[in-house]
Amino acid sequence: MIDPVNCLVPNNLEVPVKLSEDGMLAGLTFVAKDLFDVIGHRTSNGSLDFYRQSLPSKENAAAIDKLLNSGATLLGMSICDEFFYSLTGANEYYGTPVNSLAPERLPGGSSSGSAAAVAAGLVDFSLGSDTGGSVRIPASFCGIWGVRPTLGRVNLVGARPMAPSFDTVGWFSSEGQHLSDVADVLLEGNQD
């Protein structure tokens, strides 16, 4: 995948991942914050040192599996603040993703690469995480929509924790229908 906004980790997926041709998300593409396990990928959590010591994942994170089984194609892993511990979007090791709406400004973090990819039109939607604003802030900075669901509504198995009593999976898109469709796939329990 071409990366004109520096939104992808340098040690990205070798090829896109697709598990199904059918489903609610068929034909849609996405990137995921580099805290989600993807088979064969070494998760970095935004840290080059952590990447060097990690092993390739043997399973996909639950949220990744749901999206792939619903027809979406994973194009890459996106940059995040190191260990998700900032709201700026800057990463010392990988650089700061470009905010397409305002290139002279920060994209917001910690899900900065995920927001930057959507804002640049590189993917239909993206996956991030939100503990203290890590989806809401980059969505607002980059001029796109972001969803932070209620704690416990999306399965976090295979996603690195920061503060488990606050962590949630979140997602971005510039299309309202994509936000709704991703919600239908990821949310668990009563959606009324």
Q: Catalytic: 134?
A: yes
Q: Which of 44, 47, 78, 110 is catalytic?
A: 110
Catalytic residue selected from 86, 100, 129, 134: 134
- What CA–CA distances, in Å, run from 15 to 41, 133, 181? 11, 31, 25
Q: Per the structure block, which two tokens stand in for 126?
A: 């993206």
**Is residue 57 within 8 Å of residue 45, measured between CB atoms?**
no
Q: CA 33 to CA 159: how far, in whole Å?
A: 9
Which residues are CB-neighbours of 51 under 8 A, at least 6 positions away?
Answer: 9, 11, 42, 43, 44
Identify whether 78 is a catalytic site residue: no
51, amino acid identity: Y
Catalytic choice (33, 66, 112, 114): 33
Active site (annotated) includes residue 66: no
Residues with a catalytic annotation lie at 33, 110, 134
